[in-house]
């Protein structure tokens, strides 16, 4: 059986018209979980990389609503990356995945929907600790 990709993209319905774009993320549509928090990353210089953590329980949907960014995911064994450059695609990032964000365009706005409030205790910020965590679970 083929190994499932770490990159899980979802289509975000586009409801734009001649007046401009309109993208919809809702439960039963693009969002597979009830949202308890939304944050957005913007104004990150192209030379800056961020992320470098995993979550123990958190589920997220990342949508690049302007510009572009490359997200890489690592499950402790293999790494895959994807360029997000469309508000018509969202990247689902579940727990147990080390994520890094690279190559931000200057105009990038990355919106992240999450199924829980911010909780530092849910973070694993040390890569070696992350690898031990996935290999012990
Ligand atoms: P951090 O997780 O380091 O950002 P990134 O993974 O994008 O590099 O978060 C930066 C700071 O913001 C850190 O002090 C935690 C804080 N923060 C919150 O208070 N609430 C949030 O929802 C998020 C995502 C971060």
Q: Which amino acid residue places its CA nearest to atom 13 of ligand 1?
A: 120
Distance 78 CA to ligand 1 centre (A): 25
Catalytically annotated residue among 42, 53, 102, 133: 53
Q: Is residue 38 classed as helix, strand or coil in its secondary structure? A: strand
55 contacts: CB under 8 Å, gap ≥ 6: 95, 96, 97, 122, 123, 124
- Residue owning the nearest CA to atom 16 of ligand 1: 118
Q: What are phi and psi of 18, to 5 degrees?
A: -60, -20
The 10 Å Cβ neighbour count of residue 67 is: 17
Q: What atom in ligand 1 is closest to the CA of residue 39? A: 22
Helix (H) or strand (E) holding 136: helix 127-136
Q: Give, rounded to a whole angstrom, the gap between the first and last alpha carbons of the chain.
A: 22
Q: What is the pLDDT along the chain (137 residues), one digit of tens a residue?
A: 788 899 999 999 999 999 999 999 999 999 999 999 999 999 999 999 999 999 999 999 999 999 999 999 999 999 999 999 999 999 999 999 999 999 999 999 999 999 999 999 999 999 999 999 998 87
Q: Which residues contact 121 (CB under 8 A, 6 or more apart)?
A: none
Instruction: Establish whether 53 is a catalytic residue.
Output: yes
User: What's the Cα-to-Cα distance from 137 to each of 73, 75, 79, 116, rounded to whole Å?
Assistant: 18, 12, 18, 22
Q: pTM of the full predicted structure?
A: 0.96
The half-sphere exposure of 59 on its side-chain side, counting CA atoms within 13 A, is 10
Q: Which atom of ligand 1 is nearest to the CA of 99?
A: 6
What is the pLDDT, as a whole number, of residue 2?
80
- Ligand 1 centre distance from Cα of residue 4 (Å): 29
């Amino acid at each position: 059986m083929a190994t499932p990709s770490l990159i899980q993209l979802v289509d975000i319905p586009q409801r734009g018209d001649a007046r401009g774009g309109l993208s919809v993320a809702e439960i039963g549509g693009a969002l597979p979980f009830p949202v308890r928090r939304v944050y957005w990353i913007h104004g990150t210089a192209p030379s800056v990389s961020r992320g470098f953590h995993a979550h123990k329980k958190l589920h997220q949907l990342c949508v690049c609503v302007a510009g572009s960014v490359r997200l890489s995911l690592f499950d402790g064994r293999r790494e895959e990356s994807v360029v997000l450059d469309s508000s018509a695609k969202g990247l689902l990032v579940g727990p147990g995945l080390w994520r890094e964000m690279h190559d931000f365009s200057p105009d990038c706005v990355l919106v992240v929907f999450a199924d829980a409030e911010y909780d530092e205790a849910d973070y694993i910020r040390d890569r070696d600790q992350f690898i031990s965590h996935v290999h012990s679970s």
